[in-house]
Structure 1
Amino acid sequence: MELIEAIKIILIGIVEGITEWLPISSTGHMILFDAFLPLDMTEAFKNMFLVVIQLGAIMAVVVLFWHKLWPFTTRYKGYIKKDTMSLWYKVVVASLPAVVIGLPFDDVLETYLMNAPTVAVMLIVYGLWFIYIENRKAGKQGFIRTTQMMPYRTALLIGCFQVLAMIPGTSRSGATIIGAMILGCSRTVAAEFSFFLAIPIMFGASLLKLVKYFLDGFTFSGTELASLGLGMVVAFGVSVVAIRFLMDFIKKNDFKVFGYYRIVVGLIIFACMAVGVL
């Protein structure tokens, strides 16, 4: 692997680690990155690579929230933490819409909506939504202040909001956080449940991409395997920092700053299109 390509992969891992968890659309940032610093990869490998490096980001959630995610305790042999199992049941329920609706339309949406104009529009639309919702909720706390308080119906509806993230530029974390806040969750619960919901969704998306890649007859070269490993490791390390930052940030601030940021990025994409960069 050449040094310049290694630097690009490190940078893309940084972008992935930050934008996957902050509600600012990893897809939008990947498009901008590829416009200015394109990766020297085959198109098939690049499409798979940009999804599978999310596995590194997933592991950051598992490590940081292990105490909330691991349902067993060594205090008593065979003892299962009921609250943790309840959380996992809610995650499974919230994942159902993505499985039922998402899988059949994945290829269609990727073919027709994975483009710069769609991403730019959705960045701006959801940016405005964040600002509107935060203005409506100014000074108010959601009545669902822990994941234990969340009804299964609310979890299912949050999963329906997550399906909206299939439109590129929406942001998976952005859609689920907005949905959770509309349904009465506090900012902390909305962010945490978005992180937990990412585990099966992102793992499933990565597995699906890998299966499709191999079924199409492709295999990894040594350089490609090293590239994937490097991207995942960087995404993991940066994700740890990004998640900690977001959880600390929302204790004292709202999400409006991310709304303004999304609008700016969307306008930048339109500007790049206007001058022929995209």
Structure 2
Amino acid sequence: METILHALLLGIVEGLTEFLPVSSTGHLILLGDLLGFQGPPGKTFEIVIQLGAILAVCVVYWRRLSGAAIGMFTNDRDMFFVRNILIGFLPAMLVGVVAYKHIRALLDSPIIVAIALVVGGVVILVLERVNKHPRFHAVEDFPVSLSVKIGLFQCLAMVPGVSRSGATIMGALLVGADRKAAAEFSFFLAIPTMLGATAYSLYKNWSELSFDNMGLIALGFAAAFIAALVVVRAAIGLILRYGFTPFAWYRIVFGGAMLVFLLGR
């Protein structure tokens, strides 16, 4: 029963945090440390719950994604949409293959995660104040150079606790995107980025994969999918209404509390 609860909890946390600027990886690391478990059953479970979160974005934005895939050969805006997503993905793909494993090996610790959460929260508060005159209001309108810059910002998320969505959203705000376009670009960019990371992880860890606990894996997948579905459907409306400030303060409070706990333990 305890293992079932762990699988369910990890799936829910992955789904709730993957597309918000709060760091899903950081939450899973801190949760594992706080509760004293690493989550069942290893690499296979980690890969599958990420796929559940990706599926949620594909379901919510199915019409837009399928329309762009069909129309990119005949419609300029569809072509620009696909182009910008692929270009934004390239920096993370290139840097990830070369350096991700080494970065995680050096920085994968709960204390680093807690510090990154706090620092990221402060950065979000600052950027929310300076981004008063956005110039780009749709993903299709991003120039190539802007997509490259946002892709480079995404590479910062290789540091545990920074947050992939946080890095891309804040990077997009910094270079001139409005809140809605920044958030949507982060959602869409997650699809090739996470699929690429999943494929690479499958390739590197094939010998360690096991589907012996299919029930737990399926539970984690379903929990991540449902939680992410709720978040993705609600996120744009919440962001347009409240901005990113609530996420910033959440990062600061949660990261600060975890840092005090870890240092005092």
TM-score by length of 2: 0.92
Contact 1:98 1:160 in 2 (8 A): yes
Q: Find the aligned partners of 1:40 and 1:129 in 2 and give their Cα distance.
A: 30
Give the Å deviation of 1:275: 3.1
Q: Which runs of 5+ in 2 are unaligned?
A: none
Q: 2:64 aligned to 63, 68, 72, which one? A: 68
- The corresponding residue for 1:173 is 165
Match in the other structure for 1:22: 20
- Which residue of structure 2 aligns with residue 271 of structure 1? 260
Deviates more, 1:233-242 or 1:63-72: 63-72
Contact 2:44 2:209 in 1 (8 A): no
* Compared CA separation, residues 31 and 73, structure 1 to 2 (3 A): closer
1:89 corresponds to 2:83: yes
Are residues 1:56 and 2:45 paired?
no
Q: Which residue of 1 aligns with 2:243?
A: 254
CA contact (8 A) 1:68 1:84 kept: no
Alignment partners' CA distance in 1, 2:101 and 2:155: 14
Q: Which shifted more, 233-242 or 262-271? A: 262-271
Cα offset for 1:51? 4.2
Given that 1:101 and 1:163 are in contact with CA atoms closer than 8 Å, whether structure 2 keeps it comes out as yes
Q: Deviations over 1:203-257 (max 9, x none)?
A: 111122222221xx3341421x332222111111110111122111012121111
The code of the aligned residue for 2:16 comes to I
Q: Quick one: structure 1 residues 49 and 172, their matched pair in 2 at CA, closer, same or farther if it must change by over 3 Å?
A: same
CA shift at 1:95, angstroms? 1.0
- Residue in structure 2 matched with residue 193 of structure 1 by the alignment: 185
Residue type matched to 2:195 in 1? F
Residues in 2 aligned to 1:100 and 1:128: alpha-carbon distance in whole angstroms: 28
TM-score normalised to structure 1 length: 0.88
Contact between 1:5 and 1:40, CA under 8 Å: does it hold in 2?
Answer: no
Q: Is the 8 A contact 2:33 2:110 kept in 1?
A: no
Secondary structure in structure 1 of the residue aligned to 2:137 = coil
User: Could you tell me how far apart the structure 1 residues matched to 2:16 and 2:238 are?
Assistant: 14
Aligned residue-pair number: 264
Question: Which residue in the other structure is 2:102 paired with?
Answer: 108
Measured in 2, the distance between the counterparts of 1:50 and 1:274 equals 27
- Alpha-carbon distance in structure 2 between the residues aligned to 1:4 and 1:208: 31
Deviations 1:58-93 (A, max 9, x none): 01111111111113569xxx9854422321111111
Over the matched positions of the two proteins, sequence identity in percent amounts to 36
Contact 1:52 1:210 in 2 (8 A): no
Identify the match of residue 222 of structure 1 among 189, 193, 212.
212
Aligned to 2:176: 184
User: Partners of 1:85 and 1:39 in 2: how far apart?
Assistant: 45
Please report the RMSD computed on the Cα atoms of aligned residues, expressed in angstroms. Answer: 2.0
Partners of 2:190 and 2:215 lie apart in 1 by 25
Which AA in structure 2 matches 1:218? E
Counterpart CA distance in 1 for 2:70 and 2:90 is 28
For residues 113 and 40 of structure 1, the distance between their equivalents in structure 2, rounded to whole angstroms, comes to 17
Unaligned runs of 5+ in 1: none
